Amino acid sequence: MSTADTQDSARGDPAPLSSKATQQRSNEARRRVLTHDEVVTIRTLRAHGQRMDDIAKLLRIGGKPLRLGCRANGIPTLDIEARARQAATAFRKYNHSKRLTLFDNEVEIILRHRARGRAWHYIAEEIGVHRDIITRELRALGISTPRLKPRPIVKERGKWRSFEPTNIATLP
């Protein structure tokens, strides 16, 4: 044994791992299937409110294999906070606005803006109602909601005469 090995063991450092032990740990970390004891432990810890990250550290299993194994065994993988965030996101995603109808004065404002050539997203921002609700309600009232025609391009001389044709041959 060398002096470096005796110094490490004297300090209480663990002995260096053999290649076989390293390979065994590597194989355990890569495995994809949970044992029955691990499933029981996970169910117990989840019942007591443990987070998936904490369980992964405790069992020394990667996060992705742990979640895949939990899903395969019917164990919910989302934490309570994550479930609340997901529910709030789903509410915002599918319920654009609490109000699902338009008032008469809003319909007049929408038609006035549309006559000026304003886009739906601009009108929706001005009124504070989602554009899907605006178009749906106008269709329900029998008002057509076609796409805007492209505006004609007007070529003018800009501030810096950027649109003025130049003749390169006449330049000094």
pTM beyond 0.85, yes or no: no
- Structural domain that includes position 112: 96-148
pLDDT digits (tens, 9 = 90+) for 45-54: 888 888 888 8
81 and 123: one domain?
no
> Which CATH number do you get for residue 109?
1.10.10
Domain count across the chain:
2
In a domain, 159, yes or no: no
> In angstroms, rounded to a whole number, what is the distance separating the alpha carbons of residues 39 and 62?
15
Q: What does the H/E/C string look like for 131-168?
A: HHHHHHHHHHCCCCCCCCCCCCCCCCCCCCCCCCCCCH
- Per-residue confidence (pLDDT) for residue 165, from 0 to 100: 58
Residue 102 lies in a domain: yes
- Per-residue model confidence as pLDDT tens digits over 131-149: 888 998 999 999 988 888 8
> Is 165 among the domain residues?
no
| Angstrom distance (rounded) from CA 121 to CA 130 | 8
65 and 121 assigned to the same domain: no
Give the position of tokens 């209480």: 12
Helical axes 36-47 vs 52-59, angle rounded to 10°: 140
Q: Is residue 7 part of a domain?
A: no
Least confidently predicted of 3-12, 51-60, 144-153: 3-12
Same domain? For 77 and 111 the reply is no
Mean pLDDT, residues 57-74: 83
